[in-house]
Structure 1
Amino acid sequence: MRSSAGVRTLLPLALLSILPVGVLGGNILSTSGFSSCMNNATVQVKNLNVSYDKTSRILTFDVAGTSDIVQNVTANLIVSAYGKQIYTKEVNPCDTGMAEMCPVPAASFASQGSQTIPEEYASQIPAIAFSIPDLDGMVKMELKGANGEDVACVQSTVGNGHTLNIPAVSYAALGIAAVALLFSGLAGLAAGGHPGASTPSPTFGEVIGWFQGLAMNGMLSVQYPQVYQSFTSNFAFSTGLVPWGQLQSSIDGFRAKTGGNLSDDSYQYLSNNATLVYNDGTTNSSSRMMRRAFDTAFLWARDGTSVTVNGTSANIGNGAGSSTNTTSSSGNSKMNHYVSGIQAYSEQLTIPQANTFMTVLLVWAIICGVIIVFILLIKVILEAWSMFGKIPKSMESWRERYWWRLAKALTNLVLLLYGTWTLYCIYQFTNGDSWAAKTLAGVTLGLFTAVLAFFTWRIWIKAHSYKELDGDAGKLYEDKETWLKYSLFYENYKKGYWWLFVPAILYMFAKGCVIAGANGHGLVQTAGQLIVEALMLGLLLWTRPFQRKSGVWINIFIQVVRVISVVCILIFVEELGISQTTKTVTGLVLIVVQCVLTAGLAILLAVNALINCIRENPHRRARKAQEKMKLERDLDDLTPLDARNSLLMEPMAQRNSESTAYQGAVVTPPPFGDRKGRYDPVPPRDHSPAVGSEYSFSRPSRFAREDDADYLVSGAASMGRRDERSISRSPDRQPTLPHLGFGRAM
């Protein structure tokens, strides 16, 4: 049993030790906010603030409250870490010398002070408790009356200031996405609009899709380990959630004017008055050795402690006491704000849950504005270039089609965000409080769906017409006009699987509907996600639709990790009753696996960049091969009457019979030549037949009429009587057109 407990203790710590955690706070353990864990309590706690500084070994505490009746109470201190109760201590104020609290008066009271913890107790607090990210500890104090009845209950979370929700991770992910976008753009420029040219994997869409999957994994209504909840929040930017205080304040003002309630759902409330508490319930035995520190807090309570009752303060410690008028406790008075699901994910970024859709909408509008300005700027530059010089042919096409490229870029943005847009719109319908925000959600979701449906219909019509003409839809990849307009939907798929973009759109839509529609029901969300992800994995394994092998295996591997991630999230479902130790270990394993895949995508991007710099551009090589094949095909199709026949082309080089060198054509004067070498002269014959013989025929003068009937008849008759064996031919003579007596050939 001890061995098993040791394994459960060391395994989470070993996994946490390999994570790149930055130091975000000092060597301090402190409570963060408080909340009541009992209804109708006769003792109300108004403030609870406890902190311990490892460097100075000083524990500082501040407690304040009110009591309705005079009563003797006993405090029961319960310390838990990662969902497991690790320490219990019962304290009687009468036994610690706090006479002012024995009994508790029917008045307001407060106790505050600071104590130095002896080294023998401070050394028992493990160092990892001050450095482990997102330490989930809980301190609960139950007050019981003389008869054992509960009179009050208050609890507060304990943390160390270290977290995996750090800007460095978000910046690294954003950098990977930016590099993927740059490489995808360069690949498109290198292709030069060449039909059928695909983008090397991982593409920008694949990288953003992976980051969106990580973010959506953190939105389910399950009991996540806090460390995993913080990790997934680093990828919120991929879904459009960007923490921006000024933007949130503007959205709050918009909601207030359109029916919104800002009392406990606003940026000001989250940033000033609330402490988020998640339903994680994880376990870790590292806090077990902290119980001595809490013991020490009460053992030394008589030293340096001040108790205030109705404004009258008494110092307790070393037997000295005095009465002075002081103010009540003024420590941290933030209330714990319990959240889960999409609300927990957004509000940990200080984005109120009712502001999520409007945040995404405004971020999308800003990105659209940047795209429009960028494309119009390029248009202006190209127009100025064309006025003072000649722009490249590839850029000429870009200049003429800039409106279509602008529409294509915005459509691509809609396609990238469609899944998360569906999620936020449905969440706005069910949890939003502003009628204007709900209207905008409905209009934009309908508009985006209509845009994707229009392109789907156009591509389907094109494919159907191509199938009727050619038997397949290959022209979607071969026709340049069609390729430039619609290729963003199917450019990376094989010709036989061009239609796979339709299941991909449905896949994104289904994910958003399941997460937002079943918000608050973790088991339903997780089961629905598992079905959707498994169906998509099965489709990819069955079709393997991507043109490049790298695209096939990268996308299959990403989908496998998505399915495994959802299976692991099943462990976090509260209804299944999995132990908290298992949940903690599972969360850490998920972080490691997902970090490895993210790093792998970054490495593949670097490898693709290196390969593209070294080897010849495949699109240029394909164009050269296609041009060569076309030329060979044209030459093979020549016929004697074809206009491309060599008889009407420039004469080929002549070969000298006495050497191997090739010479140009012989230039002869009329009537046998035109001084340009187009026709070779007939060499003089050594034995010409006598005039009037049957082998002779008269050649008309250059002034003979071309419509002379007698000449035509006699010329034709004499041609028919020629003996081919009696005519001497030059070995270097090229074929010439027959002379029919129409004068000099032109």
Structure 2
Amino acid sequence: MPPGNLISHIEAPLLRTTTMWSSGISWGLPLVLLSALPARVLGGDILSTQGYSLCSSDPTIQVQALDIQYDRSTNQVVFNVAGSSSISQKVKAKILVTAYGRQVYEKSFNPCDSDTYVEQLCPVPAGSFAAQGNQSIPAEYASQIPSIAFNVPDLDGVAKLELFADDDDTKDLACVQSTVSNGKSMNVQAVTYVAAGMAGAALGISALGAVVGGFHVGGASPSPTFGETFGWFQGIATNGMLSVTYPTIYSSFAKNFGFSTGLIPWGRMQQTIDSFRSMTGGDLTTDSYAFLQNSTLVDASTGSNLTKRGLDTMFLYARDFSASVNGTTAISQGSSDSGNSTTTESKPMHYVHGIQAYVEKLSIPQGNTFMTILLFFAIVIAVITVGILLTKVILEALALMGNLPKSMNSFRKRYWWRLAKTITNLVMLAYGVWTLYCVYQFTNGDSWAAKVLAGVTWAIFTLILGFFAFTIWHKAKKYQKMDGDASMLYEHKETWVRYAFLYENFKKGYWWLFIPTIVYAFAKNAMIAGANGHGLIQTIGQIAIECLLLILLVWSRPYTLKSGNVINITIQVVRVISVICVLVFVEELGISQTTKTVTGLVLIVVQSVLTGVLAILIAVNAIITCVRANPHRKRRKEAEKLKNRDLDDLTPLDARNSLLMDPTQLTEYKGAGSQVSEYKKAPLVSPSLTSTTTKSKIAYDPLSKRSESPYGYGGRPELSRDESQQNLVSGAASMGGRDRSNSPARQPRLPDVEFGQFDFRHQH
């Protein structure tokens, strides 16, 4: 019987079996979820193998190539298999197909029997040989292939072909297995771009809010902030790094957020890191960018099951055919014929798990992981430094021209501190994943130089955060001794400008909560990297850590804004749910692959919904920030109205009628230092009385000018301050003719000099 008839003979029961099996699964939820996927994920009519691997310890038949592809539009299977055999021998073949962890098809046949005759396998020739070609699939079998096989991304399944000696079923001559793909995946580049855009939008809104608000003291940024959004993406990414048997659909989804942990694929960078590692003790044999480009990655659990992508009825059918022909071909590959063919060479499978699986699916060798994030961090620091320097130059130019906005003058004067604070902010954001990759480098890295860099940089990051934490704690204790609480952390401008980025969103009574946040980031990521390869330990540790943080947030509700409490507690609840769901994927618990797949879909939906909600909230914050009135501009307008109002209704005894007071200064607002507005006392002599000229716009401090005489006495010579005060008193009208010489003598005292919004004792 020719190979085409053999395919039909084998596929009839296979299609019935797999169709019955797939119909037995509740596809309602997956179909609902699939309706929300991008169009790129849903289209396509091709099923093809994804590499191969040998599954026997000492085979006499070797496989060098295995490529099978089924095109639904043409109903044809195109195959290319090649191999070699040490001797000529008759064999028996056995085909096994599993889908979602279940064995859905098994078929044994003798290629020399009349009804299952395969010329290339009867007998298997000695030496190297190959087989290639295409076979048409009968319409009655093609119609039984469910469309979902071409639509569901990241299917879980594998097909295996075993060859035994004709006279001994226990003698394993060859074993080859391969996974199948429909080319659809939840790892969609557009998702990465959207997520990165969300993080960038959150950062931009935070910056815009600060500018619109005039960088006022004591203000909290609206949630979700850039740190909260980016931290959520990091949580999704690290959730996909545990050493458990993830359904491929979820592991592909988690890869979309790898950018948040610094894992950005860049071929030239990886080649440079490979060269660096090779010169510092690294082994590039199976751990290099070139190796990854020529292998097919397969997630492997602690057991022998493949958790790559799978297979359904047609998938199995294509697998079957490919497996049977592969057995023949691999055994009988003709070197010369095969060499002249246009078929492609199959890539060997590379089994990975845990952190290695996550990073290598992004085309980053595990040995390059730390160096990748180090270079990426260095690039970001360089961009930030250049950006701030350019801003500084622009502000200086505006200051020289006299066009510098008053709100930006503080940034111009504190350039170096702004740069240091920005870098520290970045260190705070990256500290968790930096700990993860440093610990992973210590335990799995091969380059001594990379290990040294990991240790030094992690120590520097820890010292930086420790310095800021200690400084803030020390100031808080000092303020508590003076005032009874640490409110001055929020009200003292200099302290706020320097250190508020660590606690600005927390209530005054919970300023210290940034310290547990740092400890949480360290513990979570150190647990993932330290227990790599032990999925159960990782998962239990993650559940404990996430639950502790959730309890702390629910108990304290530490955020200044109510929205901050709601959003952050919601994010933490979803994190707890996520790690509990990961428990289903732990190999030791023996949960079925079908349950794992459904759980993976649920995880994708929950995390996607929360991500969508965050995106909506970011958009709402953007609208509010752009349309709301600037509170400082509003106060300035009110002051102008007060200054220009008609004062004819004043009585002689009205306090506002005093020459020593300026009505516009009575309610001068000095910033949101606390929940209660603070006011500045009016100066002894109103500025409106001592100056009628236009104030210079130059931001640099000009030479002070002598005030012009008030109320139009232009011909009167200008006097010094002391002379002016003396004339003000001596030239005043008498009060009822009373003799002032009888006035009691007063003791001289120093004037009450104002130092701004805060008391001098707080100026440290």
Fold in common (TM above 0.5): yes
5 Å-filtered alignment, 1:650-661, equals: none
Which has more radius of gyration? Answer: 1
Matched, 1:287 2:312: yes
Shift in alpha-carbon separation, 1:328–1:681, aligned structure 2, 3 A: closer
Distance in 2 (CA, whole Å) between partners of 1:645 and 1:290 is: 90
Matched residue, 1:74: 92
Deviation at 1:243, TM superposition (A): 0.5
**Structure 1 position 287, deviation (Å):** 1.1
SS at match of 2:256: helix
Q: Which residue of 2 aligns with 1:319?
A: none
**Equivalent position to 1:10, from 16, 27, 31:** 27
Give, in whole Å, the separation in 1 of the partners of 2:320 and 2:417.
Answer: 72
Residue 703 of structure 1 is matched in structure 2 by none
Give the aligned partner of residue 47 of structure 1: 65
Q: How far, CA to CA, are the matches of 1:403 and 1:410 in structure 2?
A: 11
Partner in structure 2 of residue 179 of structure 1: 201
User: What corresponds to 1:226 in structure 2?
Assistant: 248
Q: Kindly indicate whether the alpha-carbon contact (under 8 Å) linking 1:477 and 1:495 is maintained by their aligned counterparts in 2.
A: yes
C-alpha distance in 2 between matches for 1:289 and 1:325: 27
Structure 2 residue 126 is matched with structure 1 residue 126: no
2:445 equivalent to 1:445: no
> Pick from 109, 112, 134: which aligns with 1:114?
134
Q: What is residue 165 of structure 1 aligned with on the other side?
A: 187
Gaps of 5+ in 1: 314-323, 636-642, 651-663, 665-672, 685-696, 700-711, 717-736, 741-746
Confirm whether residue 23 of structure 1 aligns to residue 40 of structure 2: yes
Please say which of residues 511-520 and 65-74 is displaced more in the overlay. 65-74
Aligned to 2:669: 627
Q: Which amino acid aligns with 1:13?
A: P
SS in structure 2 at match of 1:23: helix
* Counterparts of 2:684 and 2:419, CA distance in 1: 43
The aligned counterpart of 1:413 is 426
Distance in structure 2 (CA, Å) of the matches to 1:273 and 1:297: 19
Q: Secondary structure at the match of 2:168?
A: coil
Higher RCO (CA 8 Å, separation ≥ 6 residues): 2
C-alpha distance 519-282 of structure 1, shift in aligned 2 (>3 A): closer
What CA distance in whole angstroms lies between the structure 2 residues aligned with 1:106 and 1:252? Answer: 41
Residue type of the alignment partner of 1:560? V
Give the AA of the match of 1:489. L
Q: Does 1:206 align with 2:228?
A: yes
Q: Distance in 1 between matches of 2:36 and 2:446?
A: 40
Q: Aligned ranges for residues 346-357 of structure 1 at < 5 Å?
A: 346-357=359-370
> Kindly tell me: are residues 335 and 264 of structure 1, through their superposed partners in 2, closer, same or farther at Cα, counting changes over 3 Å?
same
- Equivalent residue for 1:105? 125
**2:631 & 2:610 partners in 1: Cα distance?**
28
Q: What amino acid sits opposite 1:142 in the alignment?
A: E
Task: Determine if contact 2:432/2:521 at 8 Å carries over to the other structure.
Answer: yes
CA contact (8 A) 1:282 1:583 kept: no
Q: Per-residue deviation at 1:675? A: 11
- Offset, 1:645: 12
State how 1:568-717 maps to structure 2 within 5 Å.
568-617=581-630, 627=669, 634=681, 679-680=732-733
- Amino acid corresponding to residue 169 of structure 1 in structure 2: V
State the match for 1:92 in structure 2.
110
Judged with a 3 Å threshold, the aligned counterparts in structure 2 of structure 1 residues 51 and 380 are, in CA distance, closer, same or farther, namely same
Query: Any conservation in 2 of the 1:82–1:283 contact (CA below 8 Å)?
Result: no
Q: Structure 2 matches for 1:50-449, cutoff 5 A?
A: 50-95=68-113, 96-145=116-165, 146-149=167-170, 150-279=172-301, 287-288=312-313, 291=316, 309=332, 311=334, 331-449=344-462
1:611: Cα distance to partner? 2.1
- Aligned counterparts of 2:399 and 2:323: Cα–Cα separation in 1: 83
Q: 1:357·1:437 contact (CA, 8 Å) conserved in 2?
A: yes
For residues 453-464 of structure 1, what are the structure 2 equivalents within 5 Å?
Answer: 453-464=466-477
Partner of 2:16: none
- Counterpart code for 1:547: T
Q: CA deviation at 1:253?
A: 0.6
CA distance in 2, matches of 1:39, 1:531: 42
Larger displacement relative to structure 2 (271-280 or 348-357)? 271-280
1:104 CA displacement: 1.9
Distance change (3 Å), C-alpha of 1:519 and 1:259: same
CA distances 1:245-277 after superposition (whole Å, capped 9, x unpaired):
011011001111111111111001101244444
Query: What's the offset of the Cα at 1:612?
Result: 2.5
Query: In the aligned structure 1, how far is the partner of 2:474 from the partner of 2:359?
Result: 41
What CA distance in whole angstroms lies between the structure 2 residues aligned with 1:479 and 1:7? 67
Normalising by structure 2, we get a TM-score of 0.79
Retained in 1: the 8 A contact 2:445–2:451?
yes
CA distance in 2 between partners of 1:297 and 1:36 (Å): 15
C-alpha distance in 1 between matches for 2:374 and 2:564: 31
Cα shift at 1:619: 7.0
- Please give the secondary structure, in 1, of the residue aligned with 2:93: strand
The structural deviation recorded for 1:621 is 7.1
Question: Judging changes above 3 Å, is the alpha-carbon distance between structure 1 residues 130 and 120 closer, same or farther for their aligned structure 2 residues?
Answer: same
1:584–1:281: structure 2 CA closer, same or farther, 3 Å change rule? farther
1:548 counterpart residue number: 561
Distance 1:552 1:310, change over 3 A: closer
Q: Secondary structure at the match of 1:158?
A: strand
Instruction: Give the letter aligned to residue 46 of structure 2.
Output: I
Please tell me the residue identity of whatever aligns with 1:8: I
DSSP-derived class of the 2:356 partner = helix
Q: Figure out how many residues of one structure are paired with residues of the other and give that number.
A: 649
Query: What CA RMSD, in Å, does the superposition of the two structures yield over aligned residues?
Result: 3.4
- Structure 1 601/738 Cα, relative in aligned 2: closer, same or farther at 3 Å? same
* TM-score calculated relative to the size of structure 1: 0.81
The CA deviation at 1:112 is 2.0
Change (3 A) 1:565 1:550: same
Alpha-carbon separation, structure 1, partners of 2:147 and 2:220: 53
Quick one: which amino acid aligns to residue 33 of structure 1?
A: G
Work out the CA distance in 2 between the residues paired with 1:376 and 1:610.
Answer: 30
Alpha-carbon distance in 2 for matches of 1:308, 1:3: 33
Q: For 1:475 and 1:534, how far apart are their aligned partners in 2?
A: 32
Superposed displacement of residue 281, structure 1: 5.4
Q: 1:619 to 1:310 in 2, by over 3 A?
A: same
* Cα distance in 1, alignment partners of residues 272 and 333 from structure 2: 42
Q: Secondary structure at the match of 2:208?
A: helix
- Matched to 1:165, the amino acid is N
More displaced stretch, 112-121 vs 423-432 = 112-121
When residues 106 and 683 of structure 1 are mapped into structure 2, their CA distance, relative to the original with a 3 A threshold, is: closer
Q: Deviations over 1:193-232 (max 9, x none)?
A: 3221110000000000000000000100000000100000
Helix, strand or coil: the match of 2:39?
A: coil
Which one-letter code corresponds to 2:200 in the other structure? A
Distance 1:630 1:209, change over 3 A: closer
**Identical positions, percent:** 54
The structure-2 alpha-carbon separation of the partners of 1:379 and 1:180, relative to structure 1 and needing over 3 Å to count, comes to same
- Give secondary structure in 2 for the equivalent of 1:111: strand
1:522 aligns with 2:540: no
State the alpha-carbon separation in 2 of the partners of residues 403 and 485 from structure 1.
11
**Secondary structure at 1:59's aligned position in 2?**
strand
Note closer, same or farther for the CA distance 1:127–1:490 as it changes in structure 2 (3 Å cut).
Answer: same
State which drifts further: 343-352 or 114-123: 114-123
CA 464–442 in structure 1, closer or farther in 2 if over 3 Å, else same: same
Change (3 A) 1:557 1:631: closer
